[in-house]
Amino acid sequence: MKNFYLATVLLTLLTGCCCTEIDDSEEVGSLIFQSEYTNYAWGYNHNGWMLNNTGQVKRFQKSAKWVFPDSLGYISAVDMYKNIAACDSVIAQFSSNDFILYAEKALSCAEGPMSKATNTMADAGAHIHAVYLYEPVKNRYKRVILEMTGDWSQQNLAPNAKEVVDWMKTVK
């Protein structure tokens, strides 16, 4: 399964393929990194960023209309495109070499075991570092959590997860 995801990402990056049934004006790509903070305590707060194979890190804020993944972590490609379109600005740019390097590392985390979720705070919300993997047959993305901190904390225990999260944390 891991090889399938890796082959899908590499083919997409090498051929410049995108989800043309969604919209040619925006490449959705086959792998998307996301850092997201959500909190319902003391008022609603939702913000973060997304990074796809264009290398552009795009910011979203609580005013953005947002489609969250379902309880199993799936989101349709159409809804993912809506989320990317709701981003309001480009806050950073990564080279294609960096994207490919960390995409490969993130793919190795797809089947990684997760630590036990532990209640660590109250009213802190949730900060989630994740990667979304495209499933072309079902035209949807699957969220793979790399790290979650806040009210509940949980880590992906795959060997590369911490390195990918540390890289993601360099985005300011």
Three-class SS of 100-144 = HHHHHHHHCCCCCCECCCEECCCCCCEEEEEEEEEECCCCEEEEE
Question: For residue 4, what pLDDT is reported?
Answer: 43
Residue 92: beta bridge partners? 57
Q: What is the pLDDT of residue 63?
A: 85
- What's the average model confidence in pLDDT over 25-35? 67
Which pLDDT band holds residue 81 (cuts at 50, 70, 90)? Answer: very high
Domain boundaries, the chain: 2-168
Average pLDDT, integer, range 12-19: 40
Confidence of residue 80 (pLDDT cuts 50, 70, 90): very high
Q: How confident is the model at residue 42 (pLDDT cuts 50, 70, 90)?
A: confident
